[in-house]
Amino acid sequence: MHIDKNILIALEQRYRANLINCLSGFKPALLVGTQSPSGDTNLAMFTNVLHIGANPALLGLLVRPAPAGTERHTLDNITATGEFTLNHVTTSILPAAHQTSARFPRHVSEFTATGLTPEWRDDCKAPYVKEAPVKIALRLAEQQTLAINNTTLVIGEVQSIYLPKEILREDGSVDMAKGHIITSCGLDSYHATAPGTRYQYAKPDTKATKVT
Amino acid sequence: MHIDKNILIALEQRYRANLINCLSGFKPALLVGTQSPSGDTNLAMFTNVLHIGANPALLGLLVRPAPAGTERHTLDNITATGEFTLNHVTTSILPAAHQTSARFPRHVSEFTATGLTPEWRDDCKAPYVKEAPVKIALRLAEQQTLAINNTTLVIGEVQSIYLPKEILREDGSVDMAKGHIITSCGLDSYHATAPGTRYQYAKPDTKATKVT
């Protein structure tokens, strides 16, 4: 099938949103934990999260523009406190994690609404999710608006990482599949993954070789 | 296990790169096809690709800063011609796709080196990958440098989409798992995915409900 730009523009809005949100392929699924200056906790599922750099250790979060009059609790809290957590979604907490995307009023914590448990560690001003095996605390490092569609790229520097010893490999890489971490696609689809195949660092004069 | 910032800074460089590259979780795996103004084709695997917006339809590509003296063929070609393609990696072309990440000299096309086939469609100045079932042509729309670590966020507007009819659902979403599209994690791990579980649009007063 071929969908060119003219067809794309003419598509019904919801159909186009489904299609384009799938086009980038598989994404992570992360719960972003924040707290407002007045102490309200917030939890929201984000899938547009990406690796920005390893040294300094930076992760990015893309926040879509809010239509006039709507609230963006996560972004407001990050801007106000400078801190947030990222918590990886596993198969077992998936329904609760998806439910955080409902439009709860500001005074209702998604923790209370979904049954997930806020956990306070270190001196982090943002709550972790107790049920998530892999969790990261970040400090706001840079915030940039993309002129083209007014989305906000929030870049955080990693302050603290918690993860189970069993999924941390000897070389520092993390076996997310073994940890039952899921991947997402589009606006509403979540997938378990098969054990990974690893390849050695590619060199021009040798064929791709699996790590065994 | 707890890894705080002090431990992180003290880690051996390769270990830290493995760890931090895994932290954002699952990512896509896409082959970026480009052509230089003098007609050299280039193909490179990227995993830091994300959805930027649906209307206009925008995808972003994060390109790491090149150490002094090294070449960035993909970025140079995109800047010069304003066009590039994104081609989803499937299980069957994975070894060839990984091999594109080897440091081939500019005059050696990764198509020739890996056996993948360039395909020219529409009037796109960049080659598609014939073996990839899902492929997208994009035109450079915005390019932004992230001040914090000098990476470049390349944003392209979707011009053309090719995909098999069998994986396009009635609502416009794409079943990437059914299309044998893989997901990646970290620097060298690739995973097949299980069929997805879809959830209905979340509402505050109803529990998370699967789409059946």
Contact, B87 vs B134, CB < 8 A? yes
Q: What is the mean pLDDT of residues A10-25?
A: 97
Is residue A109 exposed (0-12), middle (13-18) or buried (19+ Cβ within 10 Å)?
buried
Nearest to B72 by CA among B114, B96, B103: B103
Predicted pLDDT of residue B65: 82
Q: Is the pLDDT at A78 greater than 90, yes or no?
A: yes
Higher pLDDT, B49 or B212: B49
pLDDT, mean of residues B133-140: 98
Per residue in A15-46, is it b (16+ CB within 10 Å) or e — as a string?
ebbbbbbbbbbbbbbbbbbbbbeeeebbbbbb
Position B149 scores a pLDDT of 93
* B25–A88 CB contact, under 8 Å: yes
Q: B148 contacts in A (CB within 8 Å)?
A: 52-53, 56, 58, 141-142, 155
pLDDT at B79 over 80: yes
Tell if the CB–CB gap between A163 and B198 is shorter than 8 Å.
Answer: no
What was the pLDDT predicted at A212?
Answer: 81
Report the half-sphere exposure of A33 (CA within 13 A, side-chain side).
27
Tell me what the pLDDT averaged over chain A comes to: 95
Residue A27 pLDDT > 80, yes or no?
yes
Q: What ipTM was estimated for this complex? A: 0.96
Q: Which residue has the tokens 């239509």?
A: A67
Nearest CB to A189; choose among B24, B164, B196: B196
**How many whole angstroms separate alpha carbon B191 and alpha carbon B172?**
24
Of A177 and B106, the one with more pLDDT: A177
Q: Which amino acid belongs to residue A35?
A: Q
| Domain B27-191, CATH | 2.30.110.10
Q: With contact defined as beta carbons under 8 Å apart, do A202 and B99 qualify?
A: yes
Q: What is the pLDDT of residue A107?
A: 87
Asked if A49 and B24 come within 8 Å (Cβ–Cβ), the reply is yes
For residue range A122-179, what is the model confidence (pLDDT) as tens digits?
899 999 999 999 999 999 999 999 999 999 999 999 999 999 999 999 999 999 999 9
How far away is chain A from the Cα of B15, in angstroms, using its nearest Cα? 5
Nearest CB among A3, A50, A95 relative to B161 is that of A3
Average pLDDT over residues B42-69: 92
Residue from the list B17, B158, B192 with its beta carbon closest to the beta carbon of A8: B158
Greater model confidence, A212 or B103 = B103
Q: Report the share of chain B in percent with pLDDT over 70.
A: 100
Contact A148 B53 (CB under 8 A): yes
pLDDT of A58 reads 98
Lowest mean pLDDT among A65-69, A76-80, A95-99: A65-69
Query: Which of A30, A52, A163 is opposite residue B1, by nearest beta carbon?
Result: A163
Q: Where are the domains of chain A?
A: 27-191
pLDDT per residue over B157-210, tens digit each?
A: 999 999 999 999 999 999 999 999 999 999 999 999 999 999 999 999 889 999
| Whether B162 and A1 lie within 8 Å, measured CB to CB | yes
Residue B56 has a pLDDT of 95
What's the pLDDT score for residue A200? 94
pLDDT for B144 beyond 90: yes
Residue B67 pLDDT level (bands cut at 50, 70, 90): confident
Portion of chain A with pLDDT greater than 70, in percent: 100
- Residue B71, Cβ neighbours under 10 Å: how many? 11
Whether the predicted pLDDT of B126 surpasses 90 = yes
Residue A34 has pLDDT above 80, yes or no: yes
Question: How many Cβ pairs closer than 8 A exist between chain A and B?
Answer: 347
pLDDT level of residue B212 (50, 70, 90 thresholds):
confident
Residue bearing tokens 């070389």 = A171
Statement: residue A106 has pLDDT above 90: no
Per the prediction, chain B carries an average pLDDT of 95
- Test A26 with B181 for CB contact under 8 angstroms: yes
The minimum CA-CA distance between B106 and chain A, rounded to whole Å, is: 12
